[in-house]
Amino acid sequence: MSSTVIDDKPVTPCLLLDVDRMTRNIQTLEARLKDLGTPLRPHVKTCKSIEIARRMMASDSPGITVSTLAEAEYFFGHGIDDQLYAVGIAPGKLDRIARLYRNGLALKLTLDNSDAAGRLGEAAARLDCAFSVLLEIDADGQRGGFRPDDPALLEAAGLVTDAGCGVLGVMTHMGASYDCRDARCLERAAERERDAVVSAADRLRTAGFEAPVVSVGSTPTATFVRNLEGVTEVRAGTHVFMDLFMAGLGVCTTDDIAISVLTEIIGYRGNAGEWLVDAGWMALSRDRGTASQTVDCGYGLVCQESGEVIEDIFVRATSQEHGILARRDGEPITPDRFQVGQRLRILPNHACATAAQHAGYWLVGEDLAGGRFWPRMHGW
């Protein structure tokens, strides 16, 4: 990926990171979890940057959470040797994982079904590798995992230990929290998340498995949870940047959103009363997550170059390298409102998706002279 600076200014479109906001977001969650007595294992799938991951790790963080083996390798290369790979294991990846084990990264794996447990056991024997495994618990019926009362949970744990591998414990992700519309719903989702995983851990322990790790995670539940009794770690990642979807959930406000896409105005569409900018879906991503929320933010909310939100303007539509700015109320934007060549910022619907479109982060913030760039890693 290339990333270009001309005359000491990054070219548009590019991704800006407000370091002060990021630091505040990290500290806010850290303080919450400290009050609740449970450490954070930050999920680095949002940032994919060693500079940011290091800042996300609190003094008591056991390690990080990753979503790809490329992340595992990149962060291990940067010295982080306690990692949970939080995607149900596909057997075809076990050879590569065994190499990581031999090189010193005992990557904690996620196992979400008995068939995969059987395949894991075969690979452990073939590769002479004792994998460490968390069993994924399905707390909301939305993705993978064992229901807490599923007989297959104990069966899978047995297959794992029979193969000489370790059952470290249980983990879950409460994807259903993303469908909430108010705080009470999020609090209940966090309760259900905790209950599911704690009861599954109890069952494992009653059956003789040690299962020391009880891991939960999502930025919304981490923000609204009131009780983490029995939980040993929380995984969250989006909180580092926040986004319009999280603001729509009530997890943050637009003033907390730490990343934005810098863009330049190309021209005015007089017939429609709309303005064209040079950030299309390639820079913003195709994510339309806020379409299902009370306030649909289109492809993003528009801010002045300084970061101040322009309340009535959003990105109505995109093509690959064009964004179309319109008023939220459907009225035309007047021709005196902006000018060709003016720079604006666009707040993202979904931080993970928008950041993934960029080679890295241009830092902005009070303590920075500007011009600093932190690269991101990509791929699988």
Q: Which of residues 12-41 bind a copy of itself (CB under 8 A)?
A: 12-14
Helix ranges, the chain (H): 19-36, 50-56, 69-77, 94-103, 114-127, 151-162, 183-206, 219-224, 244-249, 281-284, 351-355
Q: Which position among 24, 192, 328, 378 is part of the footprint of a copy of itself (CB under 8 A)?
A: 378
70 binds a copy of itself (CB under 8 A): yes
Q: Where in 262-281 is the site for a copy of itself (CB under 8 A)? A: 264-269, 271-272, 276, 278, 281
Stretch in the footprint of a copy of itself (CB under 8 A) among 18-26, 29-37, 54-62, 63-71:
63-71
- Report, in Å, the least distance between residue 356 CB and a copy of itself: 6
Stretch in the footprint of a copy of itself (CB under 8 A) among 126-134, 206-214, 307-315, 350-358:
350-358
4 binds a copy of itself (CB under 8 A): yes
- Report, in Å, the least distance between residue 107 CB and a copy of itself: 15
341 binds a copy of itself (CB under 8 A): yes
Residues 6+ apart with CB under 8 A from 39: 33, 58, 60, 61, 62, 232, 233, 234
Q: Where in 205-234 is the site for a copy of itself (CB under 8 A)? A: none
For 95-133, b/e burial (b = at least 16 CB within 10 A) is eebbebbeeebbbbbbbbbbebbbbbbebbeebebebbb
Q: Which position among 245, 287, 361, 362 is part of the footprint of a copy of itself (CB under 8 A)?
A: 287
Taking the alpha carbons at both ends of the chain, their separation in whole angstroms is 15
Which tokens is 204 given?
């494992």
- Report, in Å, the least distance between residue 366 CB and a copy of itself: 25
339 binds a copy of itself (CB under 8 A): yes
Q: Which position among 59, 320, 329, 369 is part of the footprint of a copy of itself (CB under 8 A)?
A: 320
- Report, in Å, the least distance between residue 35 CB and a copy of itself: 29
Q: Where in 128-187 is the site for a copy of itself (CB under 8 A)? A: 138, 141, 143-144, 147, 175
Helix ranges, 178-285 (H): 183-206, 219-224, 244-249, 281-284
Cα separation, 218 vs 239, whole angstroms: 9
Q: Where in 73-132 is the site for a copy of itself (CB under 8 A)? A: 73-74, 87-93, 95-96, 112-113, 115-116, 119
310 binds a copy of itself (CB under 8 A): no
359 binds a copy of itself (CB under 8 A): yes
Q: Select from 247, 134, 137, 154 the least CA-distant residue to 192.
A: 137
Grouping H, G, I as helix, E, B as strand and the rest as coil, residue 152 is: helix
Q: How many residues bind a copy of itself (CB under 8 A)?
A: 75
330 binds a copy of itself (CB under 8 A): no
Backbone angles phi, psi at 31, to 5 degrees: -65, -40
Cα separation, 82 vs 86, whole angstroms: 13
Stretch in the footprint of a copy of itself (CB under 8 A) among 17-25, 56-64, 219-227, 372-380:
372-380
3-state secondary structure 184-215: HHHHHHHHHHHHHHHHHHHHHHHCCCCCCEEE
